[in-house]
Amino acid sequence: MPFDFRGKKVLETGAGKGIGLTLAIALSHDGCKVYALSRTKSTLDALVEECPGIIPTEADLCNWDDTREKLEKLEVLDGLVNNAGIDGHDYTALECPKEFLCKLLDNNLLSAINCSQVVAKKMIEAKIKGSIVNISSIAGLASFPNGLPYNVSKAGMDMATKQFALELGPHGIRVNSVNPALVRTPMMQDLIEKGLPMESLCIERCPMDRIIEVHEVVDPILYLLSDHSSMVTRQTHVVDGGILSNITVKI
């Protein structure tokens, strides 16, 4: 399915690596004017060097007011991808401190709500029919050990998707989430380096018998941003190779 984003303008958060990096490049190659947001200048510089047409925006999304100020200065957009987020599997549910829980909620959920508010208000004022895609996780649909803060943040993201879809639908703005299982990204590598057997566990439980590649998450995002999904909204698009469809793969 070919995607044509010529004349479209999209903001993507967490654009410096992993899914965000690949998505920003794919959108740019498909003719989109991409505003790439990250809090790390070096990753933005590397991205712009590879795709000079991409417009970098450096911001710490946990700073609510500063983020709003920077997004208000952008032109009216056709799309937003809330991709920024961090991992957090350091505590059991009984031991997780408030500070760590708040950190995950700030990074993974509240930042997406903040960006969606600013971008959607400008779309409505300009009468633009746009699309917002939230990058969630199957962790919002199923529990994992030591996953309380991360899982709660992603479950909250899924509900925010539904709420924004309900309230923005009358304005022609669609809101969906993409919920992948473990993807071969730098975040996955960080988990493995912490000693977590994430890759082997996921493959063992996955009927497709392998880890998800980045492009297999990027393609559904492109679809949801595009006019091909013009009547698709409030959906939770799971990309998990069948992990959630079973109790056990082998007996």
For position 212, what pLDDT does the model report? 94
Listed in sequence order, the residues at least 6 apart from 36 whose beta carbon sits closer than 8 Å to its beta carbon are 12, 15, 16, 20, 24, 44, 47, 48, 54, 55, 56, 57
Task: For residues 60 and 66, give the distance between their C-alpha atoms in angstroms, rounded to a whole number.
Answer: 8
Q: Does the domain made of 9-245 have the CATH classification 3.40.50.720?
A: yes
For position 89, what pLDDT does the model report? 84
Share of the chain above pLDDT 70, in %: 96
> With the C-alpha atoms ordered 223, 224, 226, 229, is the resulting torsion angle positive or negative?
positive
Residues in the chain: 251
For position 121, what pLDDT does the model report? 98
For 76-127, write each residue's pLDDT tens digit: 999 999 999 998 888 999 999 999 999 999 999 999 999 999 999 999 999 9
Identity of the amino acid at 77: L
For 185-212, write each residue's pLDDT tens digit: 877 777 777 776 777 878 888 999 999 9
Q: What are the boundaries of each domain within the chain?
A: 9-245
Confidence of residue 248 (pLDDT cuts 50, 70, 90): low
Q: Are the C-beta atoms of 13 and 111 separated by less than 8 Å? A: yes
pTM (predicted TM-score): 0.94
- State yes or no: pLDDT of 160 exceeds 70: yes
For position 205, what pLDDT does the model report? 86
Query: Which residues are identified as catalytic?
Result: 150, 154
The DSSP code sequence of 1-52 is: -----TT-EEEEESTTSHHHHHHHHHHHHTT-EEEEEES-HHHHHHHHHH-T
Task: For residues 185 and 119, give the distance between their C-alpha atoms in angstroms, rounded to a whole number.
Answer: 27
Q: Are the C-beta atoms of 208 and 242 separated by less than 8 Å? A: yes
